[in-house]
Amino acid sequence: MRILESPYRSVWHNLALEDALLDRFETTGPVLLFSVNDRSVVIGKNQVIWRECSTAALRRDGIPVGRRVSGGGTVFHDPGNMNFSLMVPRRGYDQNEVYRAVITALQPWGIHADVAQGNSLVTEGRKFSGNAFCFRRDAVLHHGTLLVHADLNDLGRYLKPALSTVSTRAIASRPFPVVNLTECAPGLSPDDLKQSLLDVMIRTFGSGSGTAMTVDDTLHHEVESRVADTHGQESWIYRHSPRFTWTLNLGNGEDVETEVYRGAIETIRRRPDRDPTGIRTLNSQPFLHDALLNYAIESRDQAWEEALIAHPF
């Protein structure tokens, strides 16, 4: 097994690095990657971004959003959150074996953990790790977060839905009380946790000691290319969102129903419809708060204007 500590702090670069390593699995073989991101939010591949996080607050504060190649729910990252990414052969993979490895790595600090909600790790009823998976050809990526000393106030601030009253078949995150591992074990440091997890992972999935790996020029250029083409692009982050319908109540017995697909307005209806022809000009337009607000202002639709101001996204 090769061991790699990411040189990046950008969420887009680390997601691109995972993606590249997974594609290289046939030649690179099993890899255990450790990474730490600056403040950011990461959503699952099949999630509606506006239902999962406060997109307006993230834009205001300059915090990037990334979309994983794996499923699962939305998570908050910052320097107090350590991430592990395990790439192993698909054949014989057992996600419970990975969970057991993480649980074992925490035992020296007296932390007793369990699996909850299918892909979360909890201690004393509070979540400290979310996990997700991506199967690609003969390999599987199992990656997880570990809340060591993250800013839980930021987590709560940014993981709030930008839009309520959303109807969709897309995967939704399941809220769960969270905890930092340092609250359970004050003497625990990120380096200690990393070394303990590394030791257990090598015993479980590797043979002998792990071989250190670095991001060489070729791999770095591939990561940069994937950021430029996919992971840092709105076409992936926003417009990959599955179909959803958002109903905005105007507070006067009327509402606006907007159906969105791939980040664009497919249909929009105001009920009762005062302007059945004009509103259709928004069809096929990007789903943007400012565009809807400008239309409401130009239409002198005060109720819709006030409702949009109260619901930024």
What's 266's DSSP letter? E
The pLDDT tens digits of the residues spanning 222-241 come to: 999 999 999 999 999 999 99
Which CATH number is correct for 2-237, 3.40.50.300, 3.30.930.10, 3.20.20.70, 3.30.360.10?
Answer: 3.30.930.10
Tell whether the model's pLDDT for residue 209 goes beyond 80.
Answer: no
Crossing angle between the packed helical segments 289-298 and 302-310, to the nearest 10 degrees: 160
Measuring CA to CA, how many Å separate 151 from each of 67, 158, 177, 180, 235?
Answer: 21, 11, 14, 9, 29
Query: How confident is the model at residue 133, as a pLDDT?
Result: 97
Tell whether the model's pLDDT for residue 276 goes beyond 70.
Answer: no
Q: What is the dihedral of CA 291, 293, 299, 304, to 10 degrees?
A: 140
Q: Map tokens 């320097």 to a residue.
A: 79
How many Å apart are CA 229 and CA 206, to the nearest integer? 33
Q: What is the Cα 235 distance to its own chain's centre?
A: 16
How many Å apart are CA 107 and CA 82, to the nearest integer? 17
The pLDDT tens digits of the residues spanning 73-90 come to: 999 999 999 999 999 999
Give the three-state DSSP class for 79.
coil
The rounded mean pLDDT for the chain is 95
The tokens for 147 are 């809340």
Residue spans per domain, the chain: 2-237, 244-310
Tell whether the model's pLDDT for residue 275 goes beyond 70.
Answer: no
CA R_g for the chain: 22
Query: How confident is the model at residue 165, as a pLDDT?
Result: 92
The tokens for 251 are 């507070």
Q: What is the mean pLDDT of residues 195-220?
A: 90
Residues 6+ apart with CB under 8 A from 120: 127, 129, 130, 131, 176
Nearest partner of 163 among 79, 47, 13, judged by Cα: 47
The pTM assigned to this predicted structure is: 0.94
